[in-house]
Amino acid sequence: MAKDTTPKRPKRKNGEGCFQPSTCGKYIEYRITYYNELGERKSKTFSRKTKEECLQAYKEWKAEQEGRYSDDISENMTIAQWANCWFDNYVVGHVKITTINDDRSILDKHIIPDLGHILLKKLKPHRLTVFYNACVKKSNGRGGTLDPKTVKNIRAVLNRMLVKARKVGIIEKNPNDDAEYPKATKKETQILSPEDYDKLIKYCCEQGTQWDMLIIFFLCVGSRLGETLGLQWSKINFVKHTIRIDQQMQAVPNNDKNSKYKYTKKIIDSTKTKTSNRTIPMCLEVEQILRHVRKLQAENKMKLGQKYCRDLDLIFAREDGYFICDTTFRAFVNKRLAEAGIEHHKIHSFRHTCATTLFEEKADIKKVSKWLGHSCIGITLDTYTHVLPHHLEELAELQSNRFKRIFNSNEKDIPDEMLPEQDDWGA
């Protein structure tokens, strides 16, 4: 067999492209691969009539890229530039839409306005410490300061952004690792007093509107605002007397450039966490509330006819069947509180009130945690420590009963000879 004497094509060097005819056969294509400033592998094709023209186009493009991605230019990348780049490439399409909205809001309201002008490679731990201290004192626009949870979320978003910058090689070290984070004083959980609770329930029952029933529902069920406003009739089982919570109403960015609204509302097929998906039983009173709402809704449909045009199967909806605006509902709640002679409370405090009433009735903390849809019992313990002393007193009583059983006496728990001298009690 004759030996193949056809000369072998020399192996391409790293970064060197390859030529191939175009699909139509009229042009020559020169295809190359490269890595951008984020470390991502990309490809590009130059289509020209000759190989020389392809190479010339490639050389011009390469010169432009080397200028764009040179060390001098990279060092001039600001935090604002990297924040937007990070958001577009590593947030959008990679996390839940709720997280996308929250991250975008934090970037636009806090990080970019305060830190955006600083060069990314020049960001130091001290500057971040100053920033976090300022966030704790920052106004919330309602006469108070930012909630400690909001400040914590700001730090979390900024840290994720800087971690990614280090991983792709834009910075050598994450300055957030050495920044000091101020310990914010946790705000006491706001709840309705037992008197105000009873007063508000009675007043809303007297008014009897759909939105009044919504207030009572919050107090009895303790669901989150998004969960409640996104609740549909298909999630209610009147036979088994249960409520299924596995979705929420969420405001998402409006892609319609012609729309005057920046956000649009839609139902998201997920709750805050996986454990927030839950089925809870209905008490008789809640069932009566829902049946009353359904009756009011049916009457409204008959009255409006074709004007009831946005039926989304929502339990609590506007007159036309569409989502209730949370801002409008907050204003309604404030109005009802004022009419009932009750001081201002946030809607979320109704959820805390519901949990507190369960604890006051000696409910098991694990069951309450599951009822609320908390991701772990630690969140429940941390949030409702103010009502747990009653349960701790119960534990002390149980210990006392054990000693009584040991000594077989209801009058003495421990023999007198085991007790210290009177002068030692304060030691």
pLDDT value of position 4: 56
Amino acid making up residue 355: A
Q: Is the pLDDT of residue 157 over 90?
A: yes
- How would residue 11 be classed by pLDDT, with cut points 50, 70 and 90? low
Tell me the backbone φ, ψ of residue 123, rounded to 5 degrees.
Answer: -70, 125
| Domain regions of the chain by residue span | 18-69, 79-178, 194-387, 389-418
DSSP state of 78: B
Q: What is the mean pLDDT of residues 389-399?
A: 60
Give the per-residue pLDDT at 37.
56
Per-residue pLDDT tens digits for 47-57 = 888 888 888 88
pLDDT at residue 106 tops 80: yes
The burial class, CB within 10 Å (0-12 / 13-18 / 19+), for 24 is exposed
Strand-pairing partners, residue 119, are: 78
pLDDT score recorded for residue 47: 83
* pLDDT bracket for residue 256 (50, 70, 90): low
pLDDT digits (tens, 9 = 90+) for 185-236: 666 678 888 899 999 999 999 999 999 999 999 999 989 988 999 999 999 9
Query: Would you state the pLDDT for residue 427?
Result: 42
Backbone angles phi, psi at 251, to 5 degrees: -85, 125
Across all residues in the chain, what is the average pLDDT? Answer: 80
pLDDT tens readout for residues 116-136: 999 998 999 999 999 999 988
pLDDT, position 69? 47
Looking at domain 194-387, its CATH class is mainly alpha
The SS3 of residue 180 is: coil
Element (H, E) at 227: helix 225-229
Among 22-31, 32-41, 154-163, 371-380, which stretch is predicted with the lowest mean pLDDT? 32-41
The answer, yes or no, to whether residue 386 has pLDDT greater than 70, is: no
Q: How confident is the model at residue 361 (pLDDT cuts 50, 70, 90)?
A: confident
Mean pLDDT is lowest, of 91-95, 104-108, 140-144, 409-413, for 409-413
Q: What is the CATH architecture assignment of 79-178?
A: Orthogonal Bundle (1.10)
Query: Is residue 410 over pLDDT 90?
Result: no
